[in-house]
């Protein structure tokens, strides 16, 4: 019978199909969870590092960072700060053993409104990577997409050749300012935009192609490609695989291990949704934003204003939780426990 072998021909996984159009990135601090999905890069943030630092499997990394911080000396505050930086980089180093590409390491969100402090913190992280034998080409420094964060990104790229990943990006104004700052990469959020619309409007469900987060990233991608910006777009913050699939063709997508697992088990067919040809044909107008235009346009987007400030508060709160954890463990070490 001509169809006898037909049932055995299973469609390849959605994950493998996605990889033909888009660079797949793992969004996690739990680097033991990424091996099987073979991502190109990985991204971390303060909340993901906090989650991983609580896991028994990673206690030795926390201990290592604490010993480093104590050895650095100074006040308790300084020791904690050194430990935090070292911890972020230590997770980054372990991740780089698992991925061929780059790791994203985030600057403390409490510096989100201080350009010079963000630049200094970024250079400190890059120096720690260099000390461990990792060149700055394999690291992306994550910065909040505040006006100050975007200007810090511009300075790091121009003056120091440090590659930046602009995060907590929710508004079109943020995306335009990042393009004009010529940063390496942006991470426009998807899931957190959907969250906001569910919480603040009567509408509780969206099909992927009409999802407000998907529409936001699509518009940003189209704008960048239409006007030839070199900054690449990495969609981030996903709530379901439908959102991921709806952005097939985006330069990169950073995806949690949970959703990578779902995509690897999913055998439905995937189509390219974003590409340069479509982008060139879209009817967006080129705009330029100075600081006051940026602040005004971003402020006109209530969702983006609320989500950016909420995101900064949450990352800051998790940084404080991590510091508290470090202080407690430091006391144990110093008391010889």
User: Rounded CA gap, 15 and 8, in Å?
Assistant: 19
For residue 116, give both structure tokens.
């010079």
Digit-coded pLDDT (tens) for 88-115: 999 999 999 999 999 999 999 999 999 9
What is the distance between the alpha carbons of residues 86 and 3, in angstroms, rounded to a whole number?
59
Q: pLDDT tens, 291-335? A: 999 999 999 999 999 999 999 999 999 999 999 999 999 998 888
Confidence band (pLDDT; 50, 70, 90) for 9? low
CB 21 within 8 A of CB 40: no
Catalytic residue among 86, 115, 121, 142: 142
**Residue position matching structure tokens 């777009």:** 233
Count Cβ neighbours within 10 Å for each residue of 315-330 and write b for 16 or more, e otherwise. Answer: bbebbeebbebbeebb
pLDDT of 334: 84
| Burial per residue of 12-47, b for 16 or more beta-carbon CB atoms within 10 angstroms, e otherwise | ebbbebbbebbbbbbbbbbbebbeebbbebbbbbbb
Residue-level pLDDT at 110: 98
pLDDT, residue 336, reads: 81
Q: Kindly calculate the radius of gyration of the chain based on its CA atoms and give it in whole angstroms.
A: 21
Alpha-carbon distance of 29 to 34, in angstroms, equals 10
Q: What is the pTM (predicted TM-score) of this model?
A: 0.96
Tell me how far apart the alpha carbons of residues 257 and 270 are, in angstroms, rounded to a whole number: 19
Task: Indicate if the pLDDT at residue 1 is higher than 80.
Answer: no
Quick one: average pLDDT of 127-140?
A: 98
- Average pLDDT over every residue of 146-159: 99
Asked about 54 being catalytic, the answer comes back as no
Note the pLDDT tens digit of each residue in 188-246: 999 999 999 999 999 999 999 999 999 999 999 999 999 999 999 999 999 999 999 99
Question: What burial letters (b/e) apply to 240-259, b meaning 16+ CB within 10 Å?
Answer: ebebbbbbbbbbbbbbbbeb
The domain defined by 14-328 folds into TIM Barrel (3.20.20)
pLDDT reading at 170 higher than 60: yes
The per-residue pLDDT for 11 is: 83
pLDDT digits (tens, 9 = 90+) for 62-88: 999 999 999 999 999 999 999 999 999
Q: Rounded to an integer, what distance in angstroms lies between the CA atom of residue 54 and that of residue 114?
A: 29
Q: What is the pLDDT of residue 77?
A: 96
């Amino acid at each position: 019978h001509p169809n006898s072998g037909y049932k055995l021909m299973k469609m390849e996984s959605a994950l493998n199909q996605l990889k033909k159009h888009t660079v797949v990135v793992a969004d996690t601090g739990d680097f033991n969870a990424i091996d099987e999905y073979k991502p190109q890069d990985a991204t971390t943030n303060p909340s993901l590092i906090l989650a991983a630092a609580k896991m028994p499997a990673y206690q030795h990394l926390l201990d290592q960072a604490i010993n480093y911080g104590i050895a650095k000396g100074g006040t308790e505050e300084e020791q904690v700060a050194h430990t935090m930086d070292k911890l972020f980089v230590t997770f980054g180093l372990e991740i780089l053993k698992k991925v061929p590409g780059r790791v994203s390491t985030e600057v403390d969100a409490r510096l989100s409104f201080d350009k010079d402090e963000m630049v200094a913190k970024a250079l400190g992280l890059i120096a720690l990577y260099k000390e461990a034998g990792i060149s700055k080409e394999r690291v992306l420094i994550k910065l909040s997409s505040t006006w100050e964060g975007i200007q810090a990104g511009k300075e790091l790229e121009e003056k120091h050749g440090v590659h930046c990943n602009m995060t907590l990006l929710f508004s079109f104004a943020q995306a335009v300012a990042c393009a004009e700052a010529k940063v390496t990469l942006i991470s426009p959020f998807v899931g957190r935009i959907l969250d906001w619309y569910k919480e603040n409007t009567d509408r509780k469900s969206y099909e992927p192609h009409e999802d407000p987060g998907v529409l936001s990233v699509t518009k940003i991608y189209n704008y960048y490609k239409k006007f030839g910006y070199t900054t690449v777009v990495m969609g981030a913050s996903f709530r379901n695989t439908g959102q991921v699939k709806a952005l097939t063709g985006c330069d990169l997508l950073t995806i949690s291990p949970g959703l990578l697992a779902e995509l690897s088990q999913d055998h439905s067919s995937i189509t390219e949704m974003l590409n340069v040809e479509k982008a060139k044909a879209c009817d967006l107008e080129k705009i330029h934003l100075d600081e006051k235009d940026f602040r005004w346009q971003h402020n006109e987007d209530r969702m983006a204003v609320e989500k950016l400030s909420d995101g900064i508060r949450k990352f800051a709160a998790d940084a404080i939780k991590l510091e508290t954890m470090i202080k407690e463990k430091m006391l144990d070490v110093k008391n010889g426990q």
